[in-house]
Amino acid sequence: DAGITQSPRYKITETGRQVTLMCHQTWSHSYMFWYRQDLGHGLRLIYYSAAADITDKGEVPDGYVVSRSKTENFPLTLESATRSQTSVYFCASSHQGSEDTQYFGPGTRLTVL
């Protein structure tokens, strides 16, 4: 009964490396979301997905890639990490869309050196 999990919880990487953050939910929710949280900015939407194989950009998608081959998984990939991508990343899911209650994972703290 894990709900929504993220892995890893902490990650340190170097500029230019590819990094994948994982998100898994056990509720079979249709919608999934990726956010980044930075001081002074609240949370900003990176990408979201309305269903398997359907994804769309949010406010800050540049430098990120997502996929959703299975309903329960929504990985976020930084193809070539930059220092500006140092942040805390939150995954969320909801049953019926962004206007429905979103359930958040515990977050991944990513540091890019």
Partner 1 sequence: AQSVTQLDSHVSVSEGTPVLLRCNYSSSYSPSLFWYVQHPNKGLQLLLKYTSAATLVKGINGFEAEFKKSETSFHLTKPSAHMSDAAEYFCVVIPSGSARQLTFGSGTQLTVLP
Binding to partner 1 (CB under 8 A) within 13-72 occurs at 31, 35, 40-45, 48, 50, 56-59
Residues in Cβ contact with 65 at an 8 Å cutoff, skipping those fewer than 6 apart: 76, 77, 78, 79
Tell me the number of residues near partner 1 by CB under 8 A: 25
Q: In angstroms, give the least distance from the CB of 82 to partner 1.
A: 22
Distances (CA, A) of 110 to 60, 63, 66, 76, 102: 16, 14, 17, 12, 22
Residues contributing to the site for partner 1 (CB under 8 A): 31, 35, 40-45, 48, 50, 56-59, 90, 92, 97-99, 101-102, 104-107
